[in-house]
Chain A
Amino acid sequence: MLKVDNLCKNFGGLKAVNQCSFEVQEGMIYGLIGPNGSGKTTTFNLITGFLEPSGGRVLFKGEEITGLAPYKIAHLGIGRTFQLVRLFHNMTVMENVLLAFKDQSGERLFNAFFRPRQVIREQTGNEKKALELLEMLQIAPIRDEYVGNLGYAQQKLVELSRILMTDPEMILLDELMAGISPAFAERLLDYVRQLRDEQGITFLVVEHNMHVVMSLCEWIVVLNYGEKIAEGTPEQVSSNPVVIDAYLGV
């Protein structure tokens, strides 16, 4: 599905990501872990086009996407969340979700001016789809609230539903569980599993919480100082002495 090949990124003299290679299989939940500053978020940014690699390649479904603009990569079917939620705070939940639909005719200037009826018809259809999703995530009643007025947990759900509405084949979750209660985290984990099982979406997850990683991910890639030091099943990784060393800082 996704292949990262010898990826490198230098900031000045610092090698944030160094010759990192791994492959993500379709329909699986992958974890990307490592101590602070080990290059996880940088790797995400390189894959999604928010940073340009200094070297190496990224392939998605066999096609090279290295260094494409973020919107092009998103359009190809890779959705992402950000470490801190990046929602449109002065817009309502529904507006946030509606923004995610691809290729809306009303986003073309000509249609926006001269085909208002068609635009509204399409919009109502999108609202219907969005509402179904919001109902599934149990946030339909707050659809007309400004996102800025919501709690952190609800914002996470809005971010998740927004990314789902882009119809992605693969989702990169950056610290989705950070800053939320354990009970709510369980709920989110269930959603992620459900999405994988029902819609076949592939996940690549950056996560700090080891408990979450071990219970959610089926395959784990471990980074340290920008280099891949291990990969394997949760059991393999958690018993790997190199990984334990990296985490204990020995």
Chain B
Amino acid sequence: MKMLPQLIVNGLITGGTYALAAIGYSMVYSVLKFANFANGAVAMIGAYLTFLLVTELGIYLPLAFLISILATALLGVATDKIAYKPLRQAPKISSLITAMAISFVLEAVVLLVVGAEYRPFPLPVAEGWRLGSVYITPVQTGILVASVVCVAGLWYILHKTKIGRGMRAVADNPELATINGADTDRVISAVFAIGAALAAVAGTFVGMDIALSPTMGFNITVKGFAAVVLGGMGNVTGAVLGGLILGMMENAGVWYLAGGDGRWKVTIAYAVLMFILVVKPAGLLGSKEESRVF
């Protein structure tokens, strides 16, 4: 039990990145009622953009991060226009397929341009802090702070701005939304932009916390989705909660059940997911109607 506080802190940090990724899925789901599997790959692109801007062009990290967030937001909007918008009236399975296709294409582009190797993020080495039995690095602190800032910012956008109110209106009543076509299009673009921007943040953090690789996108997709289902589809608060819980369960689970063997992390994430699907399919904060068939 001596390890528990450390595991919880590590879990919160990992969970913070999952939560950021999960918000992107959740927002798109609440508006379009489809699971955007490409968000993980978009996050991966965001991570590589930050990485390349810093290593290849020598741009100052915070600035590089900002450029990457903006560029990724644009990429998010572009994926919608190219691959999902033409399919709004088509069966949902079509958008799921194009989403997967997008993520395979993005992954292959990175494979061609950067290569398949793991790339560690070049960060200045800095001493961490020790609080009792818990050790935390500056990067981890940054992740924690930035996650909180992002979620607070999102809350502000959703509740205090016009476009945010539009998003909630479309999410609540898609039929009404189809009547005002132009507005709906703007709202959907905004949703994709915000989701992708948060994904870029999540991707970059994962890259800093672990390393970059073309397959990291898929990993983010998996974790983001587990978090969303855990919290309840289409529910932003649920996504954040799901991300944090998943992060902690994974860390604690790997430590106590698999003897610290990190290879089983994904398996644990999924075991949690399956358990939720069986016990409470609508997730912790979701409504039953969202999850039923018709």
The answer to whether A and B assemble together is yes
Determine if A52 and B294 form an interchain contact, defined as CB atoms under 8 angstroms apart.
no
Determine if B294 and A50 form an interchain contact, defined as CB atoms under 8 angstroms apart.
yes
In the complex, which residues of chain A have a beta carbon less than 8 angstroms from the beta carbon of B127? Answer: none
Task: Give the number of chain B interface residues (Cβ < 8 Å).
Answer: 3
Judge if B288 is at the interface, Cβ distance under 8 Å. yes
Judge if B289 is at the interface, Cβ distance under 8 Å. yes
How many Å from the CB of B292 to the closest CB on chain A?
9
Interface string of A30-43 (1 = CB under 8 A from B): 00000000000000
Determine if A70 and B288 form an interchain contact, defined as CB atoms under 8 angstroms apart.
no
Judge if A51 is at the interface, Cβ distance under 8 Å. yes
In the complex, which residues of chain B have a beta carbon less than 8 angstroms from the beta carbon of A51? Answer: 289
- Bound Cα distance A51, B294 (Å): 9
- Majority secondary structure of chain B interface residues (helix, strand, loop or mixed): helix
In the complex, which residues of chain B have a beta carbon less than 8 angstroms from the beta carbon of A70? Answer: 294
In the complex, which residues of chain A have a beta carbon less than 8 angstroms from the beta carbon of B288? Answer: 52
- Bound Cα distance A70, B292 (Å): 12
How many Å from the CB of B28 to the closest CB on chain A?
21
Interface string of A66-107 (1 = CB under 8 A from B): 000010000000000000000000000000000000000000
- Bound Cα distance A50, B294 (Å): 7
Interface string of B257-294 (1 = CB under 8 A from A): 00000000000000000000000000000001100001
Using C-beta atoms within 8 Å of the partner chain, give the interface range for chain A.
Answer: under 10
In the complex, which residues of chain A have a beta carbon less than 8 angstroms from the beta carbon of B294? Answer: 50, 70
When C-beta atoms are compared, the residue in chain B nearest to A50 turns out to be B294
How many Å from the CB of B253 to the closest CB on chain A?
35
Residues 30-82 of B at the A interface (beta carbon under 8 Å)? none
How many Å from the CB of A242 to the closest CB on chain B?
28
Residues 45-61 of A at the B interface (beta carbon under 8 Å)? 50-52
- Bound Cα distance A52, B289 (Å): 9
How many Å from the CB of B146 to the closest CB on chain A?
32
How many Å from the CB of A49 to the closest CB on chain B?
10
When C-beta atoms are compared, the residue in chain A nearest to B287 turns out to be A12
In the complex, which residues of chain A have a beta carbon less than 8 angstroms from the beta carbon of B289? Answer: 51
How many Å from the CB of B294 to the closest CB on chain A?
6
When C-beta atoms are compared, the residue in chain B nearest to A49 turns out to be B294
How many Å from the CB of A182 to the closest CB on chain B?
26
When C-beta atoms are compared, the residue in chain A nearest to B289 turns out to be A51
How many Å from the CB of A226 to the closest CB on chain B?
17
How many Å from the CB of B93 to the closest CB on chain A?
14
When C-beta atoms are compared, the residue in chain B nearest to A86 turns out to be B294
In the complex, which residues of chain B have a beta carbon less than 8 angstroms from the beta carbon of A52? Answer: 288
How many Å from the CB of A221 to the closest CB on chain B?
24
- Bound Cα distance A70, B293 (Å): 11
- Bound Cα distance A8, B288 (Å): 17
Interface string of B213-243 (1 = CB under 8 A from A): 0000000000000000000000000000000
How many Å from the CB of A10 to the closest CB on chain B?
11
- Bound Cα distance A10, B289 (Å): 12
In the complex, which residues of chain B have a beta carbon less than 8 angstroms from the beta carbon of A50? Answer: 294
How many Å from the CB of A199 to the closest CB on chain B?
28
How many Å from the CB of A178 to the closest CB on chain B?
15
When C-beta atoms are compared, the residue in chain A nearest to B288 turns out to be A52
When C-beta atoms are compared, the residue in chain A nearest to B294 turns out to be A50
- Bound Cα distance A85, B24 (Å): 34
When C-beta atoms are compared, the residue in chain A nearest to B293 turns out to be A70
- Bound Cα distance A50, B292 (Å): 10
When C-beta atoms are compared, the residue in chain B nearest to A52 turns out to be B288
How many Å from the CB of A15 to the closest CB on chain B?
16
- Bound Cα distance A198, B294 (Å): 34
- Bound Cα distance A157, B134 (Å): 71
When C-beta atoms are compared, the residue in chain B nearest to A45 turns out to be B294
When C-beta atoms are compared, the residue in chain B nearest to A11 turns out to be B289
How many Å from the CB of A16 to the closest CB on chain B?
12
- Bound Cα distance A52, B294 (Å): 12
Q: Can you give 4 contacting A-B residue pairs, CB < 8 Å?
A: A50-B294, A51-B289, A52-B288, A70-B294
Partner-B contacts on A (CB < 8 A): 50-52, 70
The 4 closest A-B pairs by CB, nearest first: A50-B294, A70-B294, A52-B288, A51-B289
